[in-house]
Copies of this chain bind each other. A is one copy, B any other.
Amino acid sequence: MKPVKVGLLGLGTVGTGVVRIVEGHQEDLSSQVGSPIIIEKIAVKNTDKDRSVAVDSSKLTTDPWEVIRDPEIDVIVEVMGGIEQTKAYMLEALELGKHIVTANKDLMALHGAEILAKAHEKQCDVFYEASVAGGIPIIRTLIEGFSSDRITKIMGIVNGTTNYILTKMSQEGASYEDVLAEAQALGYAEADPTSDVEGLDAARKMAIMGTLGFRTNVELQDVTVKGISQVSKEDIQYAKRLGYEMKLLGIADREQDQVSISVQPTMVRTSHPMAAVNGVFNAVYVYGEAVGETMFYGPGAGEMPTATSIVADLVAVIKNLKLGVNGLQTIAPYKEKKLKSDDQILSKNFILLHVDDKAGVLAQITQVFAEYGVSLESVVQQPNASTPEAEIIIVTHNASKSSMDKVLDHFEGLEVIRGIKSVYRVEG
């Protein structure tokens, strides 16, 4: 049977994995799709580089346009990264009737709607399973597995770098700086780790999952983001003492038609299955009105896990190609987006205050919470041996973001409070 020809943009870690799987699993793959799959052309930065897979040098080019405009090529697999230029490649590929498989979360979070609209117009497939949680097939689960349900909450540990750092800080009592340096040495963190540690990478993935789960067009600017660079080893020890693990947790939730999406360091109750997701692993917890609690766990990155998701998408594109139904199964978001106001965003909160160690302070502080209608689950005051300060550790019941902001504003003006040391969301 006539082989399906694939053009690959990028031959870094993930691209290499794609070549390995397409070549190594050729028999299994062609049994499923009914014809051989050939990687016809590969765009790379440097054609002379030594590589860990054998690739016929005649297939390599430094010009992505050569891949995109090759009339023999049916499907483009994009694993080169980048945003604006890559978007131009993708739109041109679609214009030429080629289907796309991409692992590019940045591209999909920022320009997904435009790319999917063009794909719809051209009756092409654009699949992007690998863009969220590497080896976990969470995108098809959200689209197909839960098509009948109404999802009300998606929680994700979707950034392996930060989860590695927080796990190490928790297990070894190490500082953020030390573990980050170690993670960089091991290749788990980039030389410039900003996008990971400041939560941007996780925010992009949450925007993609929120769009699919709530069927409304969640954009990156809709996601409230706070990273982990301010998390201290003391914070993590407080969390543990109270029965929580600190996680960089994305939460997308929905009540009626209103949604909120955020990524922030969160204390997760130890008994919750998400608290046990350690190291570079990812997990996505989905709550549906009918199904209840589900969780999907696996590797979030890496050459081979990410490549399995890409090649699974490639198999899906090729099956559609054989059936002549590419581009017909996409469901565009059909619900008007309504974001929750700060009055409607509820969470439990952990607050650590340093205060003057004298009588009446605790009463003054609890009075502030009462004034803004925030009720408390627990309050502990303890002297700090080395200073004339005391620590007050507060866990609230569910409180609105706006009330909490007012409480914290009020605290700024209170003389007895020497410092608001930490504030974290609490989950479970």
Residues from 287 to 324 in A contacting B, C-beta threshold 8 Å:
288, 290-299, 302, 304-305, 307-312, 314-316, 319, 323
Q: Are the CB atoms of A308 and B31 closer together than 8 Å?
A: no
With contacts A31-B331, A137-B145, A323-B328 known, is A291 near B304, CB below 8 A? Answer: yes
Which residues of the partner chain B approach A281 to less than 8 Å between Cβ atoms?
A: 293
Q: Are the CB atoms of A299 and B304 closer together than 8 Å?
A: no
A230 on the interface (CB 8 Å rule)?
no
Bound form: Cα–Cα A144–B317 in Å: 11
Bound form: Cα–Cα A141–B273 in Å: 21
Q: Are the CB atoms of B32 and A331 closer together than 8 Å?
A: yes
* Range, interface on chain A: 35 or more
Q: Are the CB atoms of B334 and A329 closer together than 8 Å?
A: no
Q: Are the CB atoms of A334 and B276 closer together than 8 Å?
A: no
A191 on the interface (CB 8 Å rule)?
no
Partner of A291, one of B276, B291, B299, B315: B299
With contacts A31-B331, A299-B294 known, is A25 near B148, CB below 8 A? Answer: yes
A133 to chain B, nearest CB (A): 10
A11 to chain B, nearest CB (A): 17
Q: Are the CB atoms of B288 and A308 closer together than 8 Å?
A: yes
A84 to chain B, nearest CB (A): 30
A19 to chain B, nearest CB (A): 12
Q: Are the CB atoms of A316 and B137 closer together than 8 Å?
A: no
Q: Are the CB atoms of A308 and B291 closer together than 8 Å?
A: yes
Q: Are the CB atoms of B149 and A308 closer together than 8 Å?
A: yes
The contact string, 1 if C-beta is below 8 Å from chain B, for chain A 351-379, is 00000000000000000000000000000
Smallest CB-CB A-B distances: 4 pairs = A137-B145, A148-B311, A294-B298, A290-B304
7 additional A-B pairs beyond A29-B147, A140-B140, beta carbons within 8 Å, are A140-B145, A145-B312, A146-B308, A148-B314, A149-B312, A273-B276, A325-B325
The interface of chain A, by Cβ under 8 A from chain B, is 17, 20-21, 25, 28-29, 31-32, 129, 135-137, 140-141, 144-150, 215, 273, 276, 281, 288, 290-299, 302, 304-305, 307-312, 314-316, 319, 323, 325, 328-329, 331, 334
